[in-house]
Amino acid sequence: MKAIRGATTVLNDTAEDIKKGVSELLLTIKSKNAITENDIVCIMFSNTSDLRSYYPAKAAREAGFYYCPLYSSSEPEIDGSLPKCIRVMALAEIAAEPVHVYLKDAVKLRKDISGKLNIAIDGPAGSGKSTVSKILAARFGILYLDTGAMYRACALACVRKNIDCRDEKSVEKVISSVDIDVKYSDGAQKTYLDGKDVSEEIRTPSISMLASSVSAHRCVREKMVELQRTIASANSCVLDGRDIGTNVLPDAEYKFFLTAAPEIRAERRAKENAVKGIVQPFDEVLKEIITRDEQDKNREIAPLVKAYDAVEVDTGSMSAEEVAEYLAKKIQGGI
């Protein structure tokens, strides 16, 4: 047996509006979960105390739920609670994961499971963005969009053409003629340059530095940001980058800014490199991290900066799992 949650709000405290609201809510729950009344064990409602005109349980009976036990109760008056709200929990004999349904203003109650959800995670290199983003995306069953990979693919395109990544004119020529795309295989992002999977090739320290240089150019950012917005507008996703909360998706439902001391970030990067068989002295890794921070923070277009409404988290003394847990709690608690 599974519990299906849902809620809706009504415009007026009238029998008519309550009946309409309950009917829409239950029918949506039925259709989204592909169930019939026979699958439902019981339905419980509660409503805010500003709704006095009709019992939701009675409205449900009238909406065609004749046989399952129904129950409704009134909630205590709580300051700041969503006005004219009807909440429901239906217990049903289903095997699949329940699809919870939040309608009208009740969408605000559970932004994480209702409607499209974009989570922006910005921060400097090594702050834990990508690991945390992957954990969160898996937890919420949504896509993870690694926007840095796109700039890395741009850098690789320039390397292949022997172009200086600081030379805007030459970069523009290359970027206007290449095709950069991302696809998903088993939930994992694959980055494509002119139709070829370059996901591994773009993970070298030299491409990291060149991606930072190439990403400073307007021509590059415009093309990549357009692609990022297209993906984010069609899918719920966690996006990590430098300018997601400030520039790519200023209206993202949730925004976080991860930080950590450069030494800690360099240590993490050195460990990741070692796993990939990349040997680089720690001092060099640290120097690259600091240079990249400087470049990313001080460029003219969409620099690395915390969005005013992003939640800042210092990840220095936390594991990736701990950070992900913290962010998930913030998301589920509505921040």
List 10, 99, 211, 266, residue binding ligand DC (CB under 6 A): 211
Q: Is 243 in the site for ligand DC (CB under 6 A)?
A: yes
Binding mask 190-209 for ligand DC (x = CB under 6 A): ------------------x-
Residue 127 near ligand DC by CB under 6 A: no
Residue 278 near residue 204, CB atoms below 8 Å = yes
Is residue 292 close enough to count as binding ligand DC by CB under 6 A? yes
Give the residue, chosen from 147, 204, 236, 315, that forms a contact with ligand DC under the rule CB under 6 A: 147
- Give the binding-site size for ligand DC (rule: CB under 6 A): 15
CB of 218 vs ligand DC, minimal distance in Å: 12
Told to check if 6 binds ligand DC by CB under 6 A, we report no
Sole binder of ligand DC in the list 215, 236, 246, 315 (CB under 6 A): 215
Is there binding between residue 125 and ligand DC (CB under 6 A)?
A: yes
Nearest distance from residue 247's CB to ligand DC, in Å? 8
Q: Please identify, using beta-carbon distances, which residue of 110 and 242 lies nearer to ligand DC.
A: 242
Out of 151, 254, 256, 257, name the contact with ligand DC by CB under 6 A: 151
Give the interface segment with ligand DC, choosing from 48-56, 92-100, 186-194, 241-249 (CB under 6 A).
241-249
Minimum CB separation of residue 156 from ligand DC in Å reads: 12
Q: How far apart are CA 24 and CA 296, in angstroms?
A: 49
Choices 45-53, 103-111, 166-174, 238-246 (CB under 6 A): range interacting with ligand DC:
238-246
Q: Which residues bind ligand DC (CB under 6 A)?
A: 125, 147-148, 151-152, 208, 211-212, 215, 241-244, 292, 296
